[in-house]
Structure 1
Amino acid sequence: MYILFECEYKGARYAGFDKPTPGQPQTLYKVSDGQLRTAFLTADNLEAVIAAVTADAEQITVTAGDPELRHLPPLLPTATGNALLSGFMRTHKSKFDTEPGEDEEFVAPNWFFKGFGSWLKMPGETLVVPEKPVALIEEPEMALVYVNDDEGNPHYVGYTFGNDLCDIGLHRQNPGWNPYCKLCDTSMAPWLFLGEPPQSVTGQVTIERDGEPAWEGKFSCGGDSLYFKVKDMADHLFTYPAVRRPGLVNYVLLGADEASFHDGFRIADGDRVTIDVQSHDVVLSNVIQYGGQPTAV
């Protein structure tokens, strides 16, 4: 399984392969904004993508954890901001009374627009929410990444993981307010797994308050936990021309199971939410901030 990431280092953009080990050296390859998108659209296989990134590229070696190294959301076109973050709701089997039938007609789950790709936050960055949320909920989810070619045809490139933080309390007061409920920062791992979406994804959420664990719980968000087939959801979404604009990058969240809110816990200002995707060795850890100013983009 290949893992690709992009980062900024001393004002330049680089790509790397495999997750770095803290304190260990790692090789980075200088890339231009949009170079990876082009590689995925023109190369015949993953080996060709890697060759297109590494061949004749300027290389540097840095130490993982270097404070001047900043990871980026995978394939985010920073120059144009031409990326959308969206997702599906109520997708887990646990939220249905019956198991899906093999020949059951596909009825698309609800979908939401979360924001632009440039709104994504990296692990370690603060997640800003409205000043007075009703009741927040963390949502560990698998996220699919697609790039559109110059004709607007979507090309799946891989998957990663995110925290679709939102105000479920506001949604429960009025489901029609769901677009407001989603106006919370979203954390996403920078590691892009270059393979098909996995059936099994498992891990644990830990919420800390004043430096001490205040709530813990397990989660699963792979294909085997979903009521709907991943392909059916993606195929349906891309019937809409608005998400097939040429050059667009789409980050598509696949939904979460019940979490701390359903256990009676309430996330407070200053809490740290850590999502440990143990099955894939990925950790997203972010402090929650009520109100405040969004990061300039």
Structure 2
Amino acid sequence: MTVVFECIYDDERHFGLGVPEAGAPLRLYPLAGDTLAALLTTAAGDGADTAALLTRGRAAVDVPAADRHRARPLLPAHVGDALVSGFMMTHNVKVGAEVPDQPNWFVKGLGDVLKVPGEALSVPGDAVAVCEEAEVVLVHVGDERGTPRYAGYTFGNDVTDIGRFKQHAGHLSYAKLCDAGVAPWLHLGEPPRTVTGEVTVERGGAPAWKGPFTTGVDALHYDLPTMMSRLFSYEALHRPGRVHYVYIGADRSSFHAGFRTGDGDRVTIDVTSHGVRLSHPLVWTRRPGQD
């Protein structure tokens, strides 16, 4: 399976192939004014070998790992052209006897709420109880008519104020207004059927909680193609070039195990089935008027 990623190197956007080893040099290719989203759309339309099409005519440059900044997958130049959203209560382990035919959908924000590994994930200062949610993230790009087209998937952490939602189910929209972790690697294949891994929450540099998770298409109660087609049937979501990051739901979290995260905790999601690791500190923001 082809995996692509973007980096900012020498103040210019570049891309690479594969998931590089931690600390290893990167082989990058300059985009030279192109966008990776447009190149991937061309490759899909031509049925061409993606890696060959992307690198054709581009001179590779080998870059030390410390000399680049990883970008969010396919994030457009203007963060307002990216919408981060998701579905809740999608997994079999969370669904009860009576369920709607389409899960609830929510908005987390625009492209600036996405944070790559190492960056802090902020939550409101008055959050009630915050948890991590290890998830598959589907990435879609609006075509020339604005219709969202599937580009690939990555992995993320849909940080949620689950305590606020538990207090009042109608406050889901507020509970989701937290930053979201996202891996920089975009997998170009179909959404994965099974994803497994482990979450670790560190406090004061030591593990405070650990737990496994299982996600992916097979873990969903709903049919994923139906979920996405119904969501994108709304023309309000159609805009040429808009990039959609859709979090498709999570397994049980540390909250369900009785653990409560706190300001300064570090959450690490190790997606062992796919060799991807995300690690972020949690930061509680100050309430308005607070010194």
Q: What is the TM-score of this pair, normalised by structure 2?
A: 0.93
Q: Which residue of 2 aligns with 1:108?
A: 102
Structure 2 gap ranges (5+): none
RMSD: 1.9
Residue 273 of structure 2: SS of its match in structure 1?
Answer: helix
Contact 1:34-1:75 at 8 Å conserved across structures: no
Aligned-residue offset at 1:183:
1.3
Question: How many Å separate the matches in 1 of 2:203 and 2:23?
Answer: 28
Q: 1:228 to 1:34 in 2, by over 3 A?
A: farther
Contact 1:93-1:99 at 8 Å conserved across structures: no
Q: 1:32 to 1:182 in 2, by over 3 A?
A: farther
Aligned-residue offset at 1:150:
1.1
Structure 1 gap ranges (5+): 101-105
Question: How many Å separate the matches in 2 of 1:54 and 1:79?
Answer: 25
Aligned pairs for 1:146-161 (under 5 A) are: 146-161=140-155
Q: Which residue of 1 aligns with 2:2?
A: 2
Aligned pairs for 1:165-176 (under 5 A) are: 165-176=159-170
Aligned-residue offset at 1:178:
1.5
Q: Which residue of 2 aligns with 1:89?
A: 88
Contact 2:79-2:112 at 8 Å conserved across structures: no
Question: How many Å separate the matches in 2 of 1:242 and 1:70?
Answer: 33
Q: 1:22 to 1:182 in 2, by over 3 A?
A: same
Q: Confirm whether residue 51 of structure 1 aligns to residue 52 of structure 2.
A: yes
Q: Confirm whether residue 249 of structure 1 aligns to residue 239 of structure 2.
A: no
Tell me which amino acid in the other structure corresponds to 1:17: L
Q: Which residue of 2 aligns with 1:131?
A: 125
Aligned pairs for 1:62-101 (under 5 A) are: 62-63=63-64, 65-66=65-66, 68-79=67-78, 81-97=80-96
Question: How many Å separate the matches in 2 of 1:225 and 1:45?
Answer: 33
Question: How many Å separate the matches in 1 of 2:252 and 2:22?
Answer: 32
Q: Which residue of 2 aligns with 1:35?
A: 35
Question: How many Å separate the matches in 2 of 1:109 and 1:32?
Answer: 41
Contact 2:2-2:51 at 8 Å conserved across structures: no
Aligned-residue offset at 1:292:
5.4
Aligned-residue offset at 1:52:
3.8
Question: How many Å separate the matches in 2 of 1:47 and 1:292?
Answer: 50
Equivalenced residues, count: 286
Q: Which residue of 2 aligns with 1:103?
A: none
Contact 1:33-1:79 at 8 Å conserved across structures: no
Aligned-residue offset at 1:230:
1.2
Question: How many Å separate the matches in 1 of 2:88 and 2:57?
Answer: 44
Q: 1:33 to 1:274 in 2, by over 3 A?
A: farther
Contact 2:79-2:110 at 8 Å conserved across structures: no
Q: 1:244 to 1:175 in 2, by over 3 A?
A: same
Contact 2:196-2:214 at 8 Å conserved across structures: yes
Superimposed CA distance per residue, residues 152-172 of structure 1 (whole angstroms, 9 cap, x where no aligned partner): 122111110000001000111
Quote the sequence identity (%): 48
Tell me which amino acid in the other structure corresponds to 1:90: M
Which of residues 130, 134, 139 is equivalent to 1:140? Answer: 134
Superimposed CA distance per residue, residues 55-88 of structure 1 (whole angstroms, 9 cap, x where no aligned partner): 222421112x31x311111111024641111000
Q: Which residue of 2 aligns with 1:207?
A: 201
Superimposed CA distance per residue, residues 122-173 of structure 1 (whole angstroms, 9 cap, x where no aligned partner): 0111111111210001000000011111101221111100000010001111
